[in-house]
Chain A
Amino acid sequence: MPHTPNRRQFLKGVGVSLALPMMESLLPRSLATTSTQTPKLKRLVCVGTYLGFYQDDFFPKQIGRGYSMPSVLEPISRFRDDMTIFSGLDHRGRNGHEGWKAWITGSASGSVSFDQLVADQIGGKTRYASIQLTCGTPPGDAQMSYTKEGVALPMIGRPSVFYQTLFRSDSDKARIEYLLKGNSSVLDGVLEEAHSLQRNLSQADRRKLDEYLSSVRDVEKKLQKQKTWLSTPFPTTDYELPPFDPVSPEQSFECESIMYDLMSLALSTDSTRILTFMVPGWSQVFNIEGRRLSAGYHGLSHHGNERKKIEEYNIVGREHVKRFERFLDNLSNHKDAEGQSLLDTTAVVFGSGMGDSNTHDNSNLPTLVAGGGFNHGSHHAIDRTAPNARRLGDLYLTLMQSFGMEIDQFAGARSNLNEVFS
């Protein structure tokens, strides 16, 4: 029969064109991505503090290159030409601690975080596609990285476990090898079971079982990859861990320091190229350089705009930045196999999923990017009230595109920040 567009089809058509942002659809696709560039980035690190920073002392007062270093960031001032500070970026997301989960996922918890998308692209080249870290047991159900299936990836909170992961001892290796081998024959076995079951099933039931069969085959491939890596010897190190894991909240700065040290080892030994690190915070009362702070960390983060509490909150913030400085220093002193400095080839995102911790407001998230060979040295202030204002997801898009990924949308962000930062 003749096919004439009717009202419903018209509505449907309008719906489709409305779903695309006007600007985007007018631009040629080649401009929206940077897929033609050779990827210069090799590694990605995201470090987020759970209880945030005091925004006024994290963001510079001046825009552009000549800004004076904010007090919280003072410890990394010698890296000012290797980093860029962004203000005004966020995800237009949910407030509260719960909203923290959106930091690198860009949207409500349960959607994929961008580090995992990068891991899909480059993770196959290393023993571990990515490693997730924290200190001790983070409060509540704090989470950071999410897989495409919406599963929060467990974080390693013990330095000794991270160490074992990187420099596994032989006894562990033997057991893992044994289990891997066993699991291969387990999968062979169940595959046979499934096949013989399938012969007698109805067509619909068989389709259901196909899900099972294809999953088994997929996991078999994963085991194969693990086996290959197992026969590759683990790297060695002379790095020494303390005799105990500093995982209690009071010891969290020690833990943070060790984690950073091991992180640079993870990158320099090319054990992985993707790391995420959530620096947690509880109600622990810190002793910092002989000074016992007047309230617990969480209490300080709700400073109520009292000068004294802000000052102490900033002391804690600076302690985090000091440890971060040592990490950047380690990266700048190491060269990778191609002779490039780790810092120049690693994009390090540092910040927090918490905007104003005092009010749990998750707008204007503290954000800086160090390393990665970008055009650094400035403070970019984004006017978040402007129409079509850039979001944090735009920064992530720039980073992902710098890995050679063809991606032009991420969690509500549909452009990138290439014009100011690439």
Chain B
Amino acid sequence: MRLCSTRLLLSVVALLYSVAFNSHLQAESLPADFQYFLQSHCFECHSGDPEFIEGDIDLDRIEVDWSFPDAAPFWTSVYDALETSEMPPRDAESRPTPNERAEALEWLERSLTNHSKVGGTLPRRLNRTEYEHTIRDLMGLEDFTVPHSFPSDGTAKSFDNVASGLVLSPPLLAQYLEIATGIADEVLPPEVELGTTPSRRYEIDPSSLGSSAGSGAKQIEDRFRLSSSRDMSNSAAWTSVFEAPYSGAYRLTTNALPFQTDRMPYPHQTEPFVLAVYARGNGKQQYDQFEKLRFLGEFEISADEGSPTTISTEVELYKGEVLGLRWTNGPIVSQPGGRNLRRDIVADWLSRDRGLYAAFLELNGGKRGDSQVAFYDDIEALRKSGSLDLTDPRLDTIPENLKGGLNDKLPHNWVKKYVYEEMHRHGPALDILGANVEGPFRLIEDLQTRLRKERSERLLGDRSIYPTEDAHARSFLQEFLSAAFRRPVSTTQLDAYVKSYKDHRTQFPNARLEEGLHQAVRRALVSPAFLFRGISPGKLDNWDLASRLSYFLTSAPPDARLRELAASGELTTLKVLEEETRRLLDSPQRERFVSNFTGQWLSTRALADIMPDPRLFRSQEIFTRIFTSAHRNAMIDETEMLFDEILVENHPIETFIDPGFSFRSARLNDMYGATLESQQMQRVTFPKGTQQGGIIGLASVMMATANGVDTHPVHRGVWLLENVLGQPTPSPPPDIPAIAPDTSGTVTMREQLLAHQADPSCARCHERIDPLGFVMENFDPVGRWREHYPIYDESADGAQELETEFYSNQGKAPRYGPAIDPSAIMPDGTTLNDVTDLKRYLLKHDSLFAHCLTEKLLVYATGRELGFGDRRVVEEIVKNLDKNGRGFTDLVVAVTLSESFRTR
């Protein structure tokens, strides 16, 4: 995909250039020798009938107009193709002698150096992340996120903050306009009249109560039975037929009765049962535990099972809220941070009741799709069957962790279900016999309105200090627009906004200040000066630099300090720029740089879309039976924490290749053959020079460069060339069929690819790609180390299950297939036996990685494809890096101090 888009871009450039070529008169003639070179070696494919021109690159030219912006990129691509010997192809009829090539390159290099200036970033639209952070900072809306329907950003040069990829389309602008109204409502709310509304009575039959998920609480005959738990989604009752139609005061009346029997495994409760009342938005917070919900009050219910207690209380509800009832002092409730009594109870049962324990083991999590009722029935039936082996030695020890079932490998919480069902059948529990709600007796402002008004007051400040509302408006707009546009608003701009404010005022003489400003805010939020950065003409000034630095390292607009330095003009001095770079790298906001940069450079963003084949997790030797987002997140955390330490500690950049340390948790045990116990990420160390650690060897990278099902040496090789060695490969010709792994295990990818290399036009790239890919074959599609290819006895079709499903661990484990041969020979003749040799190779050729990383940082920081002029800058940065210990922090600083960063 990426390669295709590069190709497309090149064609577009070529096309635009041809157009300009005919219309510009100030052109320099191509030297006769160079024209002859092109004619002899390139015209075969790159001239003639436009329909047949290879890659739409027409080299049949006699002159070049360097004033045209696409001329330099066009000839740079010609230079690159020649310089890397990619062109002319090996099978071309006429190939230049090394001398001819050198002469052609010499002219190109000289001309490009003269004509390709440093810089050239187009105006950059804020991308999704930047837009969100910008709105949060500008409006003080800390939780702001764009709606789900927001179109996603395009990428260019692998990053989503590069100007050419950030296209603005009509649907996106329509979204900006719509969101702007929502944002303006949040800070300058329209007037809301409370009005009046008749009160009415809502009967709530127990049969209409519901738990928000699962069946922890349920209707039993004519009552609704609550078990006790922290978990509001399972054990509480919610009113699904009553949702507050208006924000206001209501009266809740309910009847409750304890349920206790002689058969319950808990002591009889004599102190009153406590019933708590909560509220949440209908359909919202369905899985939240009670401490996150809005608490409205609690009431005592007599423990006497003979007489129900009626409670009646006034509650204030916001529009759209439903009421929840929860029993708070049952036997298996635990307070936040307190002991989990459930384990104690079950452990106690298991040690006393070998039959129950044996039944749990026998049922091993229950059958597919079983409800808690069926599970409980099955356990009871097994206990009565007499078929259980009570001498099983496993019954002598109680497992440490009961969370996921008995052997800690079952994803569903069967113990919990058993406990709930036990309470439903034998008690103790609390029964709701009926309820009703009456109201509203008086209306209240809803929560949203209240918060909005507070924000509005904060934003507008003290009204009394302004002689007129118009003066207030002008002063507000001056400050707001300067913040929104990230530079002092010009008088022309300000006047235009003040004028439209006054026009509004004329049109609606009775409108409040808020309404006039509402429209101005909406306008500012779709203004090009807000949506784009780097849109001012002329040189990159202090304000542009402040934005560029700030969005680079924090994905957010400049903070107060940066604005101050921009205003005083100090930011453009190198000393201050360095200080500010280091300050932002020290701030917690650098986390956004870490995650956005690694997410794209190291492709970890791709993980979210990869659904690993469940057959990968069917071995008895591993613990990961289902691959969940928790595993994914741990992989991403590892990547980001590694990057962050290198960044903060100023480790040499080679640390990315062979760090000798990483950050892991128990979730990554299978990926690295480790035995960590904690789910918390922790720093681990290991010897350098091993297969462990670094970019090549990060489970995240290895998973992101596979497809979840199998590995492909070409994909990984291409990835490594592009992202570590800095030698991107062109896309394959469109008519070449893809090579797919042969899953029957008879022909390896290596054999297939080596056959492919016999064709010289393929070998041109594949001799560089394939060795790197072969070496990485030891990592499976989720980044685990392997010595053999797997052979599956089951088709992938039958095995495809959602990762969140609980049965993907059923089925046969793969068998060992052919042994993996990770050895390879690099184009320079170096033999690599395995991935440790590859790391050694990369360390030996350390300038390749240094160039690559510098270029990636510069592209991300400047938002442009680096031109020929920028290459000299990269060269200098890398050279200076050697002098200063190759520290990564120093490299980031060198990037911000570079001419490329400081030039538009």
Contacts and interface: CB of A to CB of B under 8 A. Distances in A.
Interface of A: 1, 3, 5-9, 11-12, 14-15, 18, 94-98, 136-137, 141, 147, 149-154, 157, 175, 179, 182-183, 185-187, 189-190, 192-194, 196-197, 200-205, 208-209, 211-212, 214-216, 218-219, 222, 243-251, 282-285, 287, 292, 294-296, 299-304, 306, 309, 359-361
A211 B168 contact: yes
23 contacts: A95-B801, A98-B802, A137-B283, A149-B151, A153-B149, A182-B518, A186-B180, A193-B527, A200-B537, A204-B120, A208-B532, A244-B202, A245-B243, A247-B243, A248-B282, A248-B283, A284-B210, A287-B219, A295-B215, A295-B369, A301-B369, A309-B369, A360-B802
Contacts of A153: 149
B368 interface: yes
Contacts of B493: 193
Nearest to A9: B52
A153 B49 CA distance: 44
A152 B47 contact: no
Contacts of A94: 800
Nearest to B233: A283
B203 to A, nearest CB: 11
Interface in B499-521: 500, 503-504, 518-519
A193 B527 CA distance: 7
B283 A151 contact: no
B148 A154 contact: yes
A384 B208 CA distance: 45
Interface of B: 39, 43-45, 47-49, 52, 54, 69, 91, 120, 122-123, 147-152, 163, 167-174, 177, 180-181, 190, 200, 202, 207-208, 210, 212-215, 218-219, 238, 240-243, 245, 282-284, 322, 367-371, 373-374, 492-493, 496-497, 500, 503-504, 518-519, 522-523, 526-529, 531-532, 535, 537-538, 611, 733-735, 797-798, 800-802, 805, 807
Nearest to B178: A183
A157 B281 CA distance: 14
A226 to B, nearest CB: 11
Given A98-B802, A295-B370, A219 B210 contact: no
Contacts of B43: 1
B367 A295 contact: no
A211 B147 contact: no
Nearest to B48: A3
Contacts of A14: 735
A292 B219 contact: yes
B369 A96 contact: no
Contact of A186 (B120, B190, B526): B526
Contacts of B214: 283, 296
A212 B168 contact: yes
B569 to A, nearest CB: 21
A294 B190 CA distance: 49
A196 B208 CA distance: 62
The 10 closest A-B pairs by CB, nearest first: A295-B371, A15-B735, A218-B170, A248-B240, A200-B537, A95-B800, A302-B369, A304-B368, A215-B173, A250-B210
A13 to B, nearest CB: 9
A308 to B, nearest CB: 9
A251 B148 contact: no
A361 B796 CA distance: 11
A264 to B, nearest CB: 24
Contacts of B169: 149, 211, 215
B240 A197 contact: no
B529 A243 contact: no
Given A3-B49, A244-B242, A251-B240, A208 B735 contact: no
Nearest to B174: A219
A212 B528 contact: yes
A37 B492 CA distance: 58
A244 B48 CA distance: 71
Contacts of A304: 367-369
A313 B322 CA distance: 29
Most interface-central of B245, B282, B733 (chain A CB within 10 A) = B282
Given A96-B802, A251-B241, 19 more contacts: A8-B733, A149-B172, A151-B171, A154-B147, A157-B283, A182-B518, A183-B181, A183-B522, A185-B500, A186-B180, A193-B529, A194-B528, A204-B120, A208-B122, A218-B170, A295-B370, A295-B371, A302-B369, A304-B367
Nearest to B245: A243
Given A11-B733, A250-B240, A151 B149 contact: yes
A141 B611 contact: no
B527 A204 contact: no
A282 B168 contact: no
Most interface-central of B149, B163, B219, B526 (chain A CB within 10 A) = B526
A299 B370 contact: yes
A296 B215 contact: yes
Contacts of A296: 214-215, 371
A97 B803 CA distance: 10
A299 B371 contact: yes
A280 B862 CA distance: 45
B86 to A, nearest CB: 14
A49 B785 CA distance: 42
Nearest to B801: A360
A12 B147 CA distance: 44
Nearest to B215: A285
Most interface-central of B171, B208, B212 (chain A CB within 10 A) = B171
Contacts of B202: 243-244
Nearest to A200: B537
B314 to A, nearest CB: 20
Contacts of A211: 167-169
B812 to A, nearest CB: 16
A208 B218 CA distance: 60
A96 B173 contact: no
A187 B374 CA distance: 62
B210 A190 contact: no
B735 A12 contact: yes
Contacts of A251: 210, 240-241
Contacts of A200: 537-538
Contacts of A282: 213
A6 B886 CA distance: 50
A14 to B, nearest CB: 6
A196 B219 CA distance: 68
A247 B802 CA distance: 26
B496 A192 contact: yes
B322 A248 contact: yes
Contacts of A6: 44-45
Contacts of A306: 367, 369
Given A154-B149, A197-B535, A249 B368 contact: no
Contacts of B492: 196
A243 B526 CA distance: 39
Contact of B177 (A7, A219, A301): A219
Contacts of A187: 177, 526
Contacts of A192: 496
